[in-house]
Amino acid sequence: MAQEQETQHALLIPWGYFAREIGLVSGIEALKLSQKVYEHTPQAKVLEFLVAILSGAKYLQDISLAAHPLDKDLAVAAAWGQASWADYTGVSRTLKRLSWAEAHEIVSVLERVSRPFLDSELSKLRSQDRRLQYDGDLTGLPVSNTSRTYPNASFGHMSDEIRLGYQAGVVSLQSPTYGRLWLSVEHHAGDTVSCTQAEALVLAAEKRSGQRPKRRTDLLQKRIEAFVESREPAEKRLVSQRAALAAVQSAKQEVIAQLQEETNLKRIPVLERRCVRREKAVQVAMKKLGKTQTWLNKHLEQEKALRKRLEQYERENSENSQPVEACFRLDAGFGTYDNIALLIEMGYEVYVKLHNHKIVQMLRRKVTDEPTWMRVGNNAEMVSWTGMQLPHCPYPLDIALERFYTGQTHKHGALAHFGTIPVTTNLRAWFGEYNARQTIEAGIKETKQVFYLNRLKVRSEPAIYLQEAMTIFAANFIRWATVWIDQHAKQDENTLPLRNMGIKKQVQVAAHTSAKVIQIQDGMLLKFSPVSAFAGKQLFFPTQTRVLHQNYFSSFFTFLAMIAQKLR
């Protein structure tokens, strides 16, 4: 006999069954959290926090105080394997008491659940002979500037303002199936700046994907050799400056000796003035010597760091039997010469906007022939140079000057590229490739306008990190669930067309729509209310398939077999 329940959060029902299918619910329930259990376990309240994020809750209290409270929806609780939900105050207390270790353990569960999906996409990219396309960025999470209750919050640049809060470093991967998959998120203080985080973003991406390109040790070795040669003039200058200092010090001592022995009262003032001049000469020589010594010390430290990097990269290359081709796109905040050189040496194709505004001025002076500009967009033109050697950059780069029409004025910017693609032969493609990094900007916008990451629902720093991690997981989770539902739902003219819905509509509309939940023998039927936005629509899906994981693990094992075949 069919069992019926009412829900006000229709799409959370199939999402719950999907979460159980992929082991998310059991993974969180298996965690050991050192908190007392009253009516609800801390694990259940952590899971409830994730469901609240999936529902697009602006505030934690929406769990209990929204027009249709989540904690009163027993159909949703059942779909997620729970007897009931806790009041939001209980969820808040559990999150507040989480330690950093516990927060990381929860995130590790999210990562383990994500692994088969990520491996499947990596397998598809390799089978299609496509490179990995990463995008990285740093996004601000502001709080009230007068707040004193957010631990370790600090002032920094957030959305063109100086705000109190935190920063989150995020990396996304272009996915054949899902379009965009979030790979990682790192929690930072609010005063963290982009130019310090390029390497951290790359390493986070490599850790999550388990893949990296071949390090360009040949370029790094030549850079070190040039670095050694560049210090030779300073070393010669140091020798001559030491000799000069010794000479003026000797001359000073001679004057002092003469002054001590002089008995002629008329000669004493002359010698005193000479002594003052010799002392000034000593100070000038010491200053020159100190400046050269400081430069050399800094130079030697940089050389030491580069040699250490070379040793590390040689070791990584020896351990990397299957290097991949990969590209990283970053905005101007990351576009320092040191960061560009680092990404080049790490083996990446690099697309970046240059950080140094003086380069734009220099490039504008180089452009004297008006017809050299090429239109690349509705209001954008570009002119380019191949293999340009910029001051203080160790490697030649493809450089482009952008010109945007903004009313009666022009706005300029400078793009840089390093890699095998001859970007200067097709400026429109270069412009499009760099600006395709808007996918991560759209993703950040989604985390804030759909999942309200910019409204921190907690005040404990481990819990803030957990909210960041759960938010990017939620964005991925819905994309996976959409494909799963589409694959397993019974398809007819009344089936809700989830594949045609964006994430925003799924979260803000479908996850807040009333429906009947009808449990039948071989699955679950979701019939949307006749007074809802989806009147006449329904979803039928099996509640126990195990097809999903079998398919993904099959893809993963196929991927491993392919690697083994190549190794043979």
Say whether pLDDT at 554 is over 60.
no
Section 274-287 average pLDDT = 94
Task: Give percent of the chain above pLDDT 70.
Answer: 95
| Stretch among 265-279, 291-305, 468-482 having the lowest mean pLDDT | 265-279
CB neighbour list of residue 538: distance below 8 Å, 6 or more residues apart:
494, 495, 496, 525, 526, 527, 528
Please tell me the distance from the alpha carbon of residue 523 to that of residue 525, in angstroms, as a whole number: 7
- Return the pLDDT at 370: 59
Comparing CA positions, the residue from 410, 411, 439 lying closest to residue 351 is 439
Please compute the mean of the pLDDT values over residues 437-448 and round it to a whole number. 95
Show the tokens assigned to 283. 């100070």
Please give the residue that has the higher pLDDT: either 548 or 262: 262
Say yes or no to pLDDT of 149 above 60: yes
Q: Which of 406, 309, 316, 399 is nearest to 362 (CA)?
A: 399
> CA–CA separation, 208 vs 557, rounded Å?
18
Strands of 408-473, DSSP E: 409-418
State the average pLDDT for the chain: 92
Match 């995008």 to its residue by tokens: 135
What length does the chain have?
Answer: 568
pLDDT > 90 in the chain, percent: 82
- How far from 456 is each of 9, 90, 291, CA to CA, in Å? 23, 17, 48
Question: Do 352 and 335 meet the contact criterion of CB atoms below 8 Å apart?
Answer: yes
pLDDT tens track for 177-220: 999 999 999 999 999 999 999 999 999 999 999 999 999 999 99
Give the pLDDT confidence of 220-257 residue by residue, as tens digits.
999 999 999 998 999 999 999 999 999 999 999 999 99
Residue 499: CA atoms inside 13 Å, Cβ hemisphere, count? Answer: 11
What pTM was estimated for this model as a whole?
Answer: 0.88
Angle at 205 between CA 203 and CA 209, to 5 degrees: 120
Any residues with CB less than 8 A from the CB of 346 and at least 6 apart, and which? 202, 212, 213, 215, 216, 313
